[in-house]
Structure 1
Amino acid sequence: MQMRKLLLCAWVLLLGITSWAQQAITGTVVDASNNPLSGVSVQLLNSSIGTTTDANGRFSISVPNKTGVLQFSYVGFQTQTIDLATATVDLKVTMQGGGQGNLQEVVVTGIASSVRRSNLANAVSSISAKQLVGTTVQPSMDAALYGKFTGANISANSGSPGGGISVKLRGITSLIANSQPLFIVDGVYYDNSSILPGLNSVSKAAGQGSTDFQDNQSNRIADLDPEDIDRIEILKGASAAAIYGARAATGVVIVTTKRGKSGKPRIELGQSFGVQMQLRKLGMSDWTAQKVVAVFDSSRLALYNASNGKTYNYEDELFGNKGFMSNTRISVSGGNDATKYYLGYTYKDDEGIVKRTGYQKSSFRVNVDQRVTNFLDLSVSANYVNSQADRGYFNNDNTSSTMGVSYVATPNWVNLYPDANGVYPKHPFVPSNFIQTRDLITNREKVERMLVGGTGTWKILNKGIHDLRLIARGGIDQYTLNTIAIFPPDLQFQSGGNGTNGASINGTAITKGSNLSAFLLYSLDISKDLNLRTQAGLTAENFDQDHVLNTATQLIGTQTNVNQAGAVQVQQTKIKQRDRGFFVQEEANYKELVIATVGLRGDRSSRNGDANKLYYFPKGSVAFNVHKLGGGLSLGPISQIKLRGAYGESGNFAPFGAIYSPLVSVGYGGTTGSLINITRGNTNLKPETQKELEMGTDIGAWNNRVTLEFTYYRKIVDDLILKADVALSSGFQDYWQNVAKIRNTGIEIALNATIFDKKDFHWTQTTSFWQNNAIVTRLDVPAFNTGAFGATLGTYRIEEGKSPTQIVGVGRVKEDGADPNTGLAVFGDGEPDFNISSYHTLTYKNFDFSFLLHWKQGGENINLTTFLSDNFGTSHDWNDRDLDPSGQKTNGQYRLSITGTTAQPWVQNASYFRVREMGLTYTMPKEWFRNIATVRVGVSGRNLINVFDYPSYDPEVSNFGIGAISSNVEVTPYPSSKSIHFNVYVTF
């Protein structure tokens, strides 16, 4: 109600405001050789008014009055500014080469404001459209982020098509919640839920060990088309993310999509064709009669001898599909000073490396910016997505039914191929023939999604030293996810008394999210040296999700409808959340010498024990540009020295429903009812709170051709929520409680350099280093193991004074240094020692070459694929003899012989070096096409070069998906892939 009154009052006020006279500013932009520059961005600072230069370098822009500053920016050139008060009638602007790194880019610092990076007091990573998709075709938006910004650890829960990526920013921020940051797309809160498809009813993956995130589900940020994105900003720390309050403890990813610019219509067409293949082949182990007896027993010799020495390459059979990939893109943009538009359409069709898997997606976007009057601007964004992913059936199970488990249980002399009548033989060692499973099962996700957002800006006052605006922003994110999993009754693990005699699992999740905010933004130029900028506003976010999962078993014949079954189970999960808040922020800029910001966010939520209680999240920062002292120091080659410091707090809600004692349905004596669950709710739960101090320096040299950014942070995550045991006499087993604290400390370094900048040859690079260390500093419950499958095989252990991602297991006291009191030894840590990435762009005449290198050092995985394959003698190195100190046992025999006494064999180093992306493009001479179109052709690839000792398909893997802990556990996943693409781009 208060927000409605605010908007109504503002509208009444605006009706009485008269318009100001428009002034047309024209000119030409050229380089140092007087050649016109096309596509230069021309922006009136502190406004939404902007345009770009045409093919002749000309521009025309209408401004409210002849005051203010025009900013001219162009990649590879220094940003220029022109004071309109002293401007000539027809401007001529000369852009100087040498670049300014990325210091002139504008970065979000509040919900309603932004600042140039040269004045920024926070470490905010940004990714441009060129960095995101300019090198090669990306399978999904989340996958496109790999290795492109500091402070992030990214891994996939499997390589299956359609997404499923875990992103952690600056270490562990929760022990139970998922690790994903908050995504905001054009001002709309973008849901990134990971919804269970119900495969557990067949796989029984959650029957032992951790029960979370084991359904091989994807996450919904994959719906966003990377081709639509103009730039991404990652608010990694609480000091930057505090303005988003109780949803921002895991960081914030702000996505801005492409928009139209003034000028004639610009039409861009793109088409790529490619192929993806298995990232790494392991090969299959050879067999002898002696090995058959050693692995199984003598009763299997007859089966082995019956094969007559014939073997089968099952690795190629299962993972050897050369998946055809196609990506079609068209966009149209343009407009004038009053109206700008952008329309984009993408159709993607990717086959997987496993037959009958793949991903298809259609995405249509419309963005419109409209200047309604001289004092009213509107911006609207709309995006419709329709996708389908066939994901196969992999990862952990406790029924030996997934294709991965069946594959590792298959010696290469066992024949699993169907006969002439299409009858598949039964697997002799496990109840699943993976070829039959691949050919007959369905595991499909279908998504239909609509996102609409809008921003209205009312310019209440723009006169002299005052600028006051009222900004209203809102959005709706709505989608329907259908999951279909069908396991026919004639599958080996579903027939003959096995399994459930067929299963049809159909899920429907309807998700609706909305957000609305209104805020005032006031800028006051007290003098030419001092500017104050104030913003204050109200926010409201709503989230509703209704997930119905129907599991039908005992299927009738070949029927797959859920009503054609002997047994049907229905599970419904509803999530409703209402958040309300406010924020205020004050920014002061003195001569661009000192830039200080303070702010406060207050949030209340239905997720809290007291839904009406406000929790407060303050922030403060200061940047000091040393080089501007005394009007500008002479520092030789040093062109910038900035010292910066920031502090902020942000939060994370308790798990949905944790404040209540949930009810479970029961049936007894022909009647039904509800019982209170064994977990007691806690109405006194507080949000998990993150408090972070960040300090750093930015240094630029040689007119900022080289820039260095260094950041140190110390982040305390307090009031972490866990289930704590209670006395059984209470009638409960456990309850939710704030019981733990974690400290993360780390450093981030980014080096940007223009290495060469000549007439025909340009070379720029960005190299980043990041490192994080975490310690549990408070634990009000006894130390406990979590996140894997027990101490025998390796597990995570939460223990005060230790890393929350330490990997422990049973161990030998002398060899492994095991604690004699617990019998546990520390074998590694899921957290990497460090990451280094390096992105390079080289241009020679009409050729563009770019590549991305990524080195991750340290960090261990719990590799249970090796454990399972050892048990069946199929490990690729089973016959090697380089592990047993005595040299007597093969590697497979040795690992199995020490199982139960130590978990050491299964905890393995996950370091790697890889060329993540590589692309070469040639721009054909425009005169070849009568100067009508610009045509570029090229070839590109992903993950083409990979160097690692990790003895499996890919060290970037996680059986537990987006879980905060245990994102480094491997259990027979869908392998990762590498790809190569041929691309054509045409611009009119």
Structure 2
Amino acid sequence: MSKKINLLFLLCNVLLPFFSLAQFTISGTVTDATNNPLPGVSVIHLNSFVATSTDANGKFSLVIPKKTGTLEFTYVGLARQTVPVVEVGESFVIKMKEDVGKLDEIVVTGLASSVRRSNLGNAVSTITSKQLVGTTVQPTMDAALYGKFTGSNISANSGAPGGGISIKLRGITSLVANSQPLFIVDGVYYDNSSINPGLNSISKAAGQGNTNFQDNPSNRIADLDPEDIDRIEILKGASAAAIYGSRAAAGVVLITTKRGRSGKPRIELSHSIGVQMQLKKLGQRQWTEDKVLASYGASAVPLFRGANGQIFDYEKELFGNKGLMNNTRVSISGGNENTTYYAGFTRKDDEGIVKRTGYKKTSVRLNLDQKVTSFIDANFSANYVTSNADRGFFNNDNTSTTLGVSFVSTPSWVNLYPDANGNYPNNPFAPSNFIQTRDLMTNREHVDRILLGGTATWKIFNFSKNSLRLIARAGMDNYTLNTIAIFPRELQFEKDGNGTNGASIYGTTLDKSTNFGGILVHNFKLSGNLEFTTQAGLTSENLDQDNVVNTATQLIGTQTNLNQASAIEVQQTKTIQKDRGFFVQEEMNYRDLVLLTLGMRGDKSSRNGDANKLYYYPKGALAINLHKLSTWNASTLSQLKLRAAYGESGNFAPFGAIYSPLVSAVFGGSTGSLITTTRGNEALVPERQKELEGGFDIGAFNNRVSLEATYYRKTVQDLIFNVAVATSSGFSFAWKNVAAIRNQGVELALNATPVLNKDLQWNFTVAFWKNKAKVTRLDVPAFNTGAFGATLGTYRIEKDKSPTQIVGIGGPSDKVDPQSGVAVYGDGEPDFNLSSYQDLVYKNFELSVLMHWKKGGDNINLSTLLSDIFGTSPDYDAMTLDPAKQLTNGKFRLAALGTTARPWVEDASYFRVRELGLTYRIPKHVFKNIADVKVGVSARNLINIFNYSSYDPEVSNFGSNAISSNVEVTPYPSSKSFHFTLTVNF
């Protein structure tokens, strides 16, 4: 009997939803503002959770329990509309309008739930596909983010093709650990490592330090094709990111790629051709015999005389290549009510502004959505990317062999060009002939990457008042990164006993990341006014990364194979990480008036000292839509929302910090291991971020004007650092939780549509943000870190001071702290950022402009130091710095060397027109309504205004390093570009 009862219960749960839905059918058509049918519009009966979407002709049919309640219509970019069921007639047609205020856009609030922006309790920035790539062609996905959302500080470690971007959200969140946000693409955890190619064995840039930061590698997020992206959500605050736990202290970037909609196949073809060139030219010093004598001594004068007045424009030679850029894009999408698909193909081929550098990438994507049964849905995403990036040889070095350092070491009257037989002369003023190095060396990254993700949703039951869904999710991110650096033995710094007689450096990184999740989501309507959404789930994330760098020196002849060398060194780094977690979240919605979210995440990880210990991260958010009050009568204001949120998130210790590592050693001809001088600490706890934010959203004139204002206060506790310890302990350094930082800031975003009519539409966004940070706890004495020491300017971690303050030795006119012996010269943190995006559509023309102003923020500019030392600075002979007008600029700066660091710390403020695009849509009748054709011209970094004395104030010699990212040492210069684009839609 009990078995029969159980079977009956199971049948009721499975079959009852079908019987309960088969009661009343509603049909209709949905169109846009110009009466064109809209396929793919989501239609939901709010009283029963029953949903469908419109077909290719904009038609839909929906079976609901009874002829009561409300229908909701939503479509990306259009305003949500609701219609009472009782008003639906037999020939029902609804016309949707543009969502000018973006209050109806859907924003993710959990791992499996979302809400309309108008109901959101915390600040989340969103970037649409149009904002990301709609103005101009983007070199990489990360570079496309510049200036497009509040709370960000973005810098580049190299202008080389293929990327290399550092992104920080709402200030510093770590001293040494990962400072980059977590990227998730269609539910798949996306690895964004920067992996060094082994150039340090030639450049000696890091000396005995960490080699990861000065080899200017690209970021792996550059592999993602920006043309595939439909939408980006940036969870900057802990209240939004807490649901992602121990990986989310630096924020979370959720990326959703494009998917198909039901209807006939839609085909898009586009091709752009462009050219990029050096962003800013500095020029070269003008030489005389007296200047040569003063800079290089009497032995150089005969060389200058032998040049017979011949001058070589080496800046143009090195950075003057007009790099041709080609980008081809093909996509097709469509489907029916059960199956939809999206397929995209992109081929990018960009030449750099330095000869023999460039970036080639091919990306193929396939996204499928399938309604398996009436109660099971599934979607699948697959992406394959292969790319080659030739990045040159730049940034810091201690051997004067990089292209940048040898360039600033060389006066313009020395002939470095090869003779008729292709033989390059030695550079008499540097260990490297940079033309020879550029022409003969290789520094290439090759990537093969595949991303797979899938989600299955089982609607366990779906009644009029409550529903339950089970969501299963899995993702895999696998890539192989091959780095190849070849320095032939005929290079000046490799031959004649000067170096290693040639070097061949091959690196291989195998990276496999997987993530799995199971989530239950329950929706419950207690009454017509109160709704609850409950979700709970389990998650699993795994990382297995194996990096091997083989360095072969003493090459045999012209061979570059590793086995064709007399000396081989192998370095291997393995990173294995396993994270497990759970989360619960409850969302309450009372008439869209009061919205409350409470949640908790629990995490454990193999990165922790106790791999089985759970760390908990709570979150909460409250939003009150005052305009929903029954007594509201302010006709001008269409929205007034107050919101407050609190959350916590974490950051793991650097990999291996819980152990005291071993290094290989040889004892009497036998191999063995030694413990290093750094002591591990198994008691380390994750860095913990706690953030409280509050704000308000105002909409006016039917939301054609809206303002979002947010204030946040974020503390990051238990910051980890490798501190000096008493050598009597047997170690010199040890990992400890020693500090805390407080970030506080303001974010403002104004959106408006001042003009909206048949012929003219004008939309604009103005965003303002600023952040201030302070060290609030420091368990060890204040210390300097990053850059190259106090003589040239460095960073100092000191209680009650900014963690990015720049200090250095001080002269008589500087305010020197008597205890530390250094003076404060600046701060890497900007005073504020202000950006503006304008979009103007007049009939068939569209003009889009993105402008960005960064005020304040300082760099340590060591490119100028090096060019001063070698006497080649373009402004060396100007007299604009010395108040007494006695010394030239070069001599004035050099006179300060060893006395004060002030000359090397520069204001990095700038104003840019980052993107500018003009398109024309050719009338459809020209092509007999078969195709929609657009032509356009665009530019990136067209206008750049700054007083910074080098090529670009957006630099970072130390890549994604948490602290010292505002340091410049002869980088690959930034570029500006121009494009012509043709797009055809069928």
Q: Same fold (TM over 0.5)?
A: yes
**Structure 2 vs 1, CA of residues 307 and 403 (structure 1 numbering), >3 Å: closer, same or farther?**
same
**Structure 2 vs 1, CA of residues 975 and 128 (structure 1 numbering), >3 Å: closer, same or farther?**
same
1:932 aligns with 2:930: yes
Tell me, in whole angstroms, the C-alpha distance in 2 between the residues paired with 1:636 and 1:703: 9
User: Which residue is equivalent to 2:429?
Assistant: 429
User: Which residue is equivalent to 1:379?
Assistant: 379
**Structure 2 vs 1, CA of residues 576 and 799 (structure 1 numbering), >3 Å: closer, same or farther?**
same
From 835, 838, 842, the equivalent of 1:837 is 835
User: Which residue is equivalent to 1:870?
Assistant: 868
Deviation at 1:72, TM superposition (A): 3.3
What amino acid is aligned across from residue 854 of structure 2 in structure 1? Answer: K
1:716 aligns with 2:715: yes
Deviation at 1:310, TM superposition (A): 0.5
Deviation at 1:14, TM superposition (A): 7.9
User: Which residue is equivalent to 1:443?
Assistant: 443
8 Å Cα contact 1:163/1:219 also seen in 2: yes
User: Which residue is equivalent to 1:72?
Assistant: 73
Q: Give the secondary-structure state (helix, strand or coil) at the position aligned to 1:79.
A: strand
1:686 aligns with 2:685: yes
What amino acid is aligned across from residue 171 of structure 2 in structure 1? Answer: G
Deviation at 1:497, TM superposition (A): 1.0
8 Å Cα contact 1:352/1:358 also seen in 2: yes
**Structure 2 vs 1, CA of residues 201 and 259 (structure 1 numbering), >3 Å: closer, same or farther?**
same
Tell me, in whole angstroms, the C-alpha distance in 1 between the residues paired with 2:735 and 2:319: 43
Deviation at 1:208, TM superposition (A): 6.8
Deviation at 1:36, TM superposition (A): 3.3
User: Which residue is equivalent to 1:92?
Assistant: 93
8 Å Cα contact 1:210/1:788 also seen in 2: no
User: Which residue is equivalent to 2:4?
Assistant: none
The CA deviation string for residues 94-138 of structure 1, in whole angstroms up to 9 with x for no partner, is 3356x4411110000000100000000110000000000000110
The CA deviation string for residues 906-930 of structure 1, in whole angstroms up to 9 with x for no partner, is 1000000000001111111111111
Across the aligned residues of Structure 1 and Structure 2, the Cα RMSD in angstroms comes to 1.9
Tell me, in whole angstroms, the C-alpha distance in 2 between the residues paired with 1:392 and 1:180: 25
User: Which residue is equivalent to 1:625?
Assistant: 625
8 Å Cα contact 2:152/2:169 also seen in 1: yes
Tell me, in whole angstroms, the C-alpha distance in 2 between the residues paired with 1:632 and 1:188: 46
**Structure 2 vs 1, CA of residues 204 and 890 (structure 1 numbering), >3 Å: closer, same or farther?**
same
Tell me, in whole angstroms, the C-alpha distance in 1 between the residues paired with 2:616 and 2:235: 19
Tell me, in whole angstroms, the C-alpha distance in 1 between the residues paired with 2:427 and 2:598: 66
Q: Give the secondary-structure state (helix, strand or coil) at the position aligned to 1:443.
A: strand
**Structure 2 vs 1, CA of residues 881 and 632 (structure 1 numbering), >3 Å: closer, same or farther?**
same
Tell me, in whole angstroms, the C-alpha distance in 2 between the residues paired with 1:557 and 1:222: 37
Tell me, in whole angstroms, the C-alpha distance in 1 between the residues paired with 2:591 and 2:241: 26
User: Which residue is equivalent to 1:280?
Assistant: 280
8 Å Cα contact 1:61/1:337 also seen in 2: no
Q: Give the secondary-structure state (helix, strand or coil) at the position aligned to 1:161.
A: coil
8 Å Cα contact 1:810/1:903 also seen in 2: yes
8 Å Cα contact 2:200/2:211 also seen in 1: no
1:388 aligns with 2:388: yes
Tell me, in whole angstroms, the C-alpha distance in 2 between the residues paired with 1:386 and 1:857: 38
User: Which residue is equivalent to 1:111?
Assistant: 111
8 Å Cα contact 1:14/1:458 also seen in 2: no
**Structure 2 vs 1, CA of residues 287 and 79 (structure 1 numbering), >3 Å: closer, same or farther?**
same
1:984 aligns with 2:957: no
User: Which residue is equivalent to 1:765?
Assistant: 764
What amino acid is aligned across from residue 537 of structure 1 in structure 2? Answer: G
**Structure 2 vs 1, CA of residues 76 and 37 (structure 1 numbering), >3 Å: closer, same or farther?**
farther
User: What is the correspondence of 1:633-648 to structure 2 with a 5 Å cutoff?
Assistant: 633-648=632-647
Tell me, in whole angstroms, the C-alpha distance in 2 between the residues paired with 1:822 and 1:302: 48
What amino acid is aligned across from residue 117 of structure 2 in structure 1? Answer: R
What amino acid is aligned across from residue 305 of structure 1 in structure 2? Answer: R
Q: Give the secondary-structure state (helix, strand or coil) at the position aligned to 1:206.
A: coil
Deviation at 1:879, TM superposition (A): 1.2
Tell me, in whole angstroms, the C-alpha distance in 2 between the residues paired with 1:439 and 1:974: 16
8 Å Cα contact 2:740/2:775 also seen in 1: yes
Deviation at 1:819, TM superposition (A): 1.8
Deviation at 1:820, TM superposition (A): 3.2
8 Å Cα contact 1:842/1:849 also seen in 2: yes
Tell me, in whole angstroms, the C-alpha distance in 2 between the residues paired with 1:52 and 1:894: 72
8 Å Cα contact 1:722/1:738 also seen in 2: yes
**Structure 2 vs 1, CA of residues 274 and 50 (structure 1 numbering), >3 Å: closer, same or farther?**
farther
Tell me, in whole angstroms, the C-alpha distance in 1 between the residues paired with 2:337 and 2:534: 28
The CA deviation string for residues 16-62 of structure 1, in whole angstroms up to 9 with x for no partner, is 77745577654333566x643546733437879554575x7x32255
Tell me, in whole angstroms, the C-alpha distance in 2 between the residues paired with 1:507 and 1:96: 54
User: Which residue is equivalent to 2:583?
Assistant: 583
User: Which residue is equivalent to 1:189?
Assistant: 189
1:921 aligns with 2:922: no
Tell me, in whole angstroms, the C-alpha distance in 2 between the residues paired with 1:350 and 1:26: 51
User: Which residue is equivalent to 2:3?
Assistant: none
Deviation at 1:86, TM superposition (A): 5.2
Deviation at 1:73, TM superposition (A): 4.3
The CA deviation string for residues 923-975 of structure 1, in whole angstroms up to 9 with x for no partner, is 11111111111011111110011111111111001000001111100000000
8 Å Cα contact 1:831/1:858 also seen in 2: yes
User: What is the correspondence of 1:196-211 to structure 2 with a 5 Å cutoff?
Assistant: 196-207=196-207
The CA deviation string for residues 311-349 of structure 1, in whole angstroms up to 9 with x for no partner, is 000011000000000000001100111101000000000
Alignment length (residue pairs): 973
What amino acid is aligned across from residue 672 of structure 2 in structure 1? Answer: G
**Structure 2 vs 1, CA of residues 39 and 302 (structure 1 numbering), >3 Å: closer, same or farther?**
farther
From 955, 958, 962, the equivalent of 1:957 is 955
**Structure 2 vs 1, CA of residues 84 and 564 (structure 1 numbering), >3 Å: closer, same or farther?**
farther
Tell me, in whole angstroms, the C-alpha distance in 1 between the residues paired with 2:677 and 2:482: 31
Deviation at 1:823, TM superposition (A): 2.5
The CA deviation string for residues 161-201 of structure 1, in whole angstroms up to 9 with x for no partner, is 11110000000000002321000000000000111100000
Tell me, in whole angstroms, the C-alpha distance in 2 between the residues paired with 1:348 and 1:569: 35
User: What is the correspondence of 1:767-806 to structure 2 with a 5 Å cutoff?
Assistant: 767-806=766-805
User: What is the correspondence of 1:846-925 to structure 2 with a 5 Å cutoff?
Assistant: 846-925=844-923
What amino acid is aligned across from residue 80 of structure 2 in structure 1? Answer: T
Deviation at 1:209, TM superposition (A): 7.1
Q: Give the secondary-structure state (helix, strand or coil) at the position aligned to 1:412.
A: coil
1:500 aligns with 2:500: yes
User: Which residue is equivalent to 1:5?
Assistant: none
User: Which residue is equivalent to 1:564?
Assistant: 564
Deviation at 1:79, TM superposition (A): 2.5
8 Å Cα contact 1:461/1:468 also seen in 2: yes
**Structure 2 vs 1, CA of residues 29 and 19 (structure 1 numbering), >3 Å: closer, same or farther?**
closer
Q: Give the secondary-structure state (helix, strand or coil) at the position aligned to 1:300.
A: helix
What amino acid is aligned across from residue 779 of structure 1 in structure 2? Answer: L
1:154 aligns with 2:190: no
Q: Give the secondary-structure state (helix, strand or coil) at the position aligned to 1:404.
A: helix
The CA deviation string for residues 337-386 of structure 1, in whole angstroms up to 9 with x for no partner, is 11010000000000000000000000000000000001000000000001
8 Å Cα contact 1:44/1:68 also seen in 2: no
**Structure 2 vs 1, CA of residues 970 and 941 (structure 1 numbering), >3 Å: closer, same or farther?**
same
Listed as ranges, the gaps of 5+ residues in structure 1 are 1-9
Tell me, in whole angstroms, the C-alpha distance in 2 between the residues paired with 1:45 and 1:790: 65
Query: Which sits farther off after the overlay, 413-422 or 202-211?
Result: 202-211
What amino acid is aligned across from residue 245 of structure 1 in structure 2? Answer: G
From 806, 810, 817, the equivalent of 1:819 is 817
8 Å Cα contact 1:884/1:891 also seen in 2: yes
**Structure 2 vs 1, CA of residues 419 and 410 (structure 1 numbering), >3 Å: closer, same or farther?**
same
Tell me, in whole angstroms, the C-alpha distance in 2 between the residues paired with 1:202 and 1:30: 64
Tell me, in whole angstroms, the C-alpha distance in 2 between the residues paired with 1:471 and 1:898: 64
Query: Which sits farther off after the overlay, 236-245 or 675-684?
Result: 675-684
Tell me, in whole angstroms, the C-alpha distance in 2 between the residues paired with 1:146 and 1:223: 17
What amino acid is aligned across from residue 483 of structure 1 in structure 2? Answer: T
Deviation at 1:889, TM superposition (A): 1.2
1:615 aligns with 2:603: no
Q: Give the secondary-structure state (helix, strand or coil) at the position aligned to 2:479.
A: strand
Deviation at 1:675, TM superposition (A): 1.1
Tell me, in whole angstroms, the C-alpha distance in 1 between the residues paired with 2:55 and 2:983: 21
User: Which residue is equivalent to 2:940?
Assistant: 942
From 946, 960, 969, the equivalent of 2:967 is 969
8 Å Cα contact 2:77/2:105 also seen in 1: no
